Chains A and B, each alone.
Chain A
Amino acid sequence: MLLAAIPAQAAEEYALLQVADPFIELHTGPGVGYPVFHVVDRDDFIEVLKRKTDWFKVRTADGKRGWVARAQLEKTLTASGENTHLQEPALGDFSQRRWEFGLLGGVFNNAAEISLYGGYAFTANLSAELSGAQVLGDYSSSYLLNVNLLSQPFPRWRVSPFFSLGGGYLSTRPRTTLVPPKDSNDFTAHVGLGLRTWLSRRFILRAEFNRYITFSSDDNNEEFKEWKAGFAFFF
């Protein structure tokens, strides 16, 4: 109904593909389990309306709408007669990424930690990152804000190690049930090392270990260990 309301000019904006395999299958939904209700024969045209994950909603010349798997969609020809090729991010793009965002979970000084970060790569080897974390312990909760400089000696490896160096700010608030509750706010410095692995498409798996030193206002510096791992995506 919605599609019928779209003016004819808009309909022209969809990519038009010609089936090159003996046939391609149209599923009722974007998933392998949804039944095949129609097949489009070789040389017939389909219009690609939208995409959900690795499934494409297409419309046949006689108006049937269904979902085609990515692997089958690549067995078609474009309007100019070339093989349909989807530009999906690959390992090469991972090596040349500019922006990276991720979410890590782990342990900071024996307390649970949840951390969010964003980074920008100046060169394939050098990048800068900003991260914020919440540390939730039995006796206190803290916020940790960090600025990192990362060096990645082997950017072309699929499993690529990195070294980090940075500074930050740790704000700790003891539990209200503790007497006396006294907040502490300290600057920190840290060094660390870690690994990034390209998973697929835009996704990275990342794990790291950092060693922190806090510069306490009462001249009683403390050292902490941090382990964390999680997912990230890049573009």
Chain B
Amino acid sequence: MEGRLRILLLSALCMPCLWSATALAAEGGTDQAAAQQVIQPQIDRREVSIDEIDSEDFEISVFGGLLSTEDFGANAVIGARLAYHISEGVFFEATYGRSTTTESSVERVYGGLPALTDSGRILSYYNVSLGYNLLPGEAFVTRNWAFRTALYVIAGAGSTTFAGDDRFTINFGAGYRFLATDWLGLHIDVRDHVFDIDVLGYSKTLHNLETTAGLSIFF
């Protein structure tokens, strides 16, 4: 049905071209009247400009997984991301994530006063990163069924709020994007969040590894 309609549409559009060609060939000949009878465009086609085409360069996603906070356990993390794809290779991404950490070994073994208040135990972070689709490709499920995928690398900077303070944080990692359709993606991400902390009485650099899975929508 759809095919027939398209043929009809295409013929309606082709006819003026054909007609002008015929008219030229005939050079004022007698075919014009006959041609005019054939051309009866039935459909008023609105011409759609190529600049009005729907573009899908933004990607919004939610994710969940595990964030290992050095000294404070590996805990559930949830968050959201917004990405903008500049080209087929490069994209920007802004991320917000949140996790509730648990007691450190020091607090458990030696007892006494807790090192952090309840609100101080909540770790939240935001960052802005630049990503690159290092290995774009396709995953072949069956002979005629393939999905687009990409292995990407990503790095950026941001802030982590933990133990009552905001800390400058570098993040880097890699991820795998599996596109179920043009607009729906599945992500698996591994990131390292690096920042300095002095909450246990001395300053040290933490490497907090995060593994997440997410779902994204392109729009």
Contacts and interface: CB of A to CB of B under 8 A. Distances in A.
A19 interface: no
Instruction: Give the one of B9, B17, B138, B165 with max A CB within 10 A.
Output: B165
Nearest to B7: A61
B148 interface: yes
A28 B46 contact: no
B136 A33 contact: yes
Contacts of B52: 15
A79 B47 contact: yes
B179 to A, nearest CB: 9
B33 to A, nearest CB: 24
A90 interface: no
Interface string A53-92: 1111100011100000000010000111100111100000
Q: Across chains A and B, which 7 residue pairs bring their CB atoms closest together, nearest first?
A: A136-B168, A141-B166, A51-B55, A112-B168, A176-B164, A15-B48, A31-B88
Given A34-B138, A73-B50, 20 more contacts: A4-B2, A8-B2, A11-B2, A11-B5, A15-B49, A16-B9, A17-B50, A34-B136, A49-B53, A52-B55, A52-B85, A52-B182, A53-B88, A61-B6, A61-B7, A78-B50, A86-B51, A114-B128, A114-B157, A134-B159
14 contacts: A8-B5, A11-B6, A12-B45, A15-B53, A16-B9, A16-B10, A34-B138, A49-B53, A51-B55, A51-B56, A53-B57, A54-B88, A62-B3, A79-B47
Interface of B: 1-3, 5-7, 9-10, 13, 17, 43, 45-57, 85-89, 92, 128, 133, 136-138, 146, 148, 157-159, 163-168, 181-182, 196, 198-199, 218
